[in-house]
Copies of this chain bind each other. A is one copy, B any other.
């Protein structure tokens, strides 16, 4: 129990009172609140981290090889010979990008990935471009992965087609709720299916390799119909290989996530996050290479009717038995869970940006379960709107996807290359302190710079190929949206920094004195208990009270004057004749004349009686005078509009 009187005796020493929240429904949905002091216990280890942050990257195994095959099919069967070499090239790029991100994780242990790297090493604009691309891609990850998961369900049960949007929204809500419960619990929820996917895929590849080495593998029986574009080219052109390479780099999406989420890991968090990223890269590369290799050996074909994974699984396991079904089931689950990676990355990135003043500050708020709940909910809402707008169509959503990822890869690697260049120019033993890291001389700076520069070049090429080949299918939307997003982020930042400058107490000098004339104006349309309550309040604020009556109906005014004699307690009453029956305008005119004539340091308070009806809907039956006055007078310094609530009924 707080006794407010306690404070009176100790006016200078701040007192601290603790607050414990009561129980409510949200505890059932997302669990009991976690105190801020619990934060260190709400971190995850490497294994759970792999499940939380790698599901997006791992899920790309479900389609990356097929994407390469689909492009190469344009040159007919002879193109398929290039699948494995292209896959090796993609894995090399994956290794460069992964190494680059491991370095980023160690350099920036508070998280941030491309946004922080670009901010610290290139400049604010590049940081905003990287951030816009990433935010957009996280949103698309949710929409695309949920929609593709639902598409898998729809192909199994065609009857639910017309409910696909509802199913997708329910899936989004489900993923949102497990994420609102906290990173530890969402990790626990998705760890098992993620590891099941990894295990079943390795089993499949191992069995396949053994059968291949023993010569018992064979080819796909009854291969499905090829996709339409087959054989349009008679030779394999370099551009075709480049195009196939770009499509295959879909395998790289999701690598960024861990670098945004370092703070979710147990200490030593950089080390744990870095090791997790290496694990992820190794698993991803092996699965991808294995699938690409075996798919060539069994002569799998890209088709609209059967996935390459399905062809491979039934060829390796010799039919549609238990293992085949397990492969298909966990592939579907991992596609839906890929959304979880975005739920782990987006709120953390947006909180980092909000802290820098590029997004609404509210996004830095951690909810009762210590996660950035407003970021999670924002992501869910925007992704759901996209799903509704595109009617959960993967075909229409996918062209928007991946450009942003590769734009951010390019910027982060280019930023790291610049950083190595700087490291090469520091005197050995000296150090250069920058915004969020310290630079030392690195004897291998040239090699590192070349590696990251080459990585940046590769990812830039991939991005350009994406932009060109998918332009008409929707990539142009991305090319419009990124500048728009950058402009919005910049405007938000300008607002916050201008505000901070204006509010700063540095160089503020002495504030105006606490004393000064305080004039109070009470608009009075009628005299009743509500008016008297307002009048009493006004008299408590100041001795200088003027009541103002706008006279629209002379008879009414006479009644008010008469009542005033009885109840007005000698308070000054000014009557504003309004021959044109206007109410607000004469009142505002009067107030503005008083403002114009005021003394320095004078405050003016407008006290308005306000009825509080029992039901809010009845507010429509009353003029919202206080609201209207406040809106009109907001821009006048030194004028305060106060409504004195009067509870009726």
Residue positions of A touching B, CB distance < 8 A: 1-5, 7-8, 10-12, 14-21, 33-37, 360-362, 365-368, 492, 495-496, 498-499, 502-505, 508, 511-512, 514-516, 518-519, 527-530, 532, 536-537, 539-542, 546, 549, 551-553, 561, 563-564, 567, 569-582, 585-586, 589-590, 593-594, 597, 603, 605, 611-613, 618, 620-623, 634-635, 637, 639-640, 642-649
Contacts and interface: CB of A to CB of B under 8 A. Distances in A.
A23 to B, nearest CB: 12
Nearest to A373: B581
Contacts of A590: 2, 17
B528 A503 contact: yes
A640 B360 CA distance: 29
A20 to B, nearest CB: 8
Given A4-B594, A34-B580, A361-B622, 5 more contacts: A8-B572, A37-B579, A499-B648, A502-B648, A514-B569
Contacts of A529: 502-505, 508
A11 B569 CA distance: 10
A362 B499 contact: no
A137 B163 CA distance: 43
Instruction: Pick from A37, A361, A367, A536 the residue with the most CB of B within 10 Å.
Output: A536
Nearest to A645: B634
- Give this chain's copy count: 2
A36 to B, nearest CB: 6
A628 to B, nearest CB: 13
Nearest to A592: B2
A4 to B, nearest CB: 5
B530 A503 contact: yes
Nearest to A33: B580
A611 B503 CA distance: 10
A546 B7 CA distance: 9
**Closest 3 interchain pairs by CB?**
A19-B586, A503-B528, A35-B579
16 contacts: A1-B593, A7-B546, A10-B572, A11-B572, A14-B561, A14-B574, A17-B575, A17-B590, A18-B576, A34-B580, A36-B579, A36-B580, A505-B563, A612-B634, A639-B645, A640-B645
Given A590-B17, A612-B634, A618 B570 contact: no
B537 A16 contact: no
Contacts of A35: 579-580
A532 B504 contact: no
A493 B637 CA distance: 41
Nearest to A594: B4
Contacts of A593: 1-2, 4
A274 to B, nearest CB: 28
Given A360-B620, A540-B518, A499 B7 contact: no
A492 B21 CA distance: 39
Q: What secondary structure prevails in chain A residues at the interface with B?
A: mixed
Instruction: Pick from A512, A516, A567, A647 the residue with the most CB of B within 10 Å.
Output: A647
B15 A574 contact: yes
Contacts of A360: 620-621
Contacts of A542: 540
Contact of A603 (B10, B540, B575): B540
Instruction: Pick from A19, A511, A519, A635 the residue with the most CB of B within 10 Å.
Output: A19
Contact of A14 (B16, B505, B573, B580): B573
A372 to B, nearest CB: 11
Contact of A15 (B10, B540, B575): B575
Contacts of A563: 505
A492 B621 contact: yes
Nearest to A622: B361
Instruction: Pick from A1, A34, A541 the residue with the most CB of B within 10 Å.
Output: A541
A130 B505 CA distance: 67
A113 B475 CA distance: 67
A366 B581 contact: yes
A637 to B, nearest CB: 6
B502 A640 contact: no
A647 B12 CA distance: 30
Contact of A623 (B362, B571, B611, B623): B362
A593 B570 CA distance: 36
Nearest to A548: B17
A353 to B, nearest CB: 13
B589 A649 contact: no
Contacts of A634: 612, 645, 647
Instruction: Pick from A504, A542, A594, A618 the residue with the most CB of B within 10 Å.
Output: A618
Contacts of A511: 532, 536, 567
Given A495-B621, A529-B502, A644 B640 contact: yes
Nearest to A552: B36
A186 B15 CA distance: 70
Instruction: Pick from A553, A570, A581 the residue with the most CB of B within 10 Å.
Output: A581
B19 A577 contact: yes
Nearest to A598: B4
A546 B567 CA distance: 33
Contact of A642 (B12, B539, B571, B642): B642
A14 B575 contact: yes
Contacts of A597: 3-5
A578 B19 contact: yes
A102 B561 CA distance: 40
Nearest to A532: B511
Contact of A17 (B541, B561, B574): B574
A529 to B, nearest CB: 5
A19 B585 contact: yes
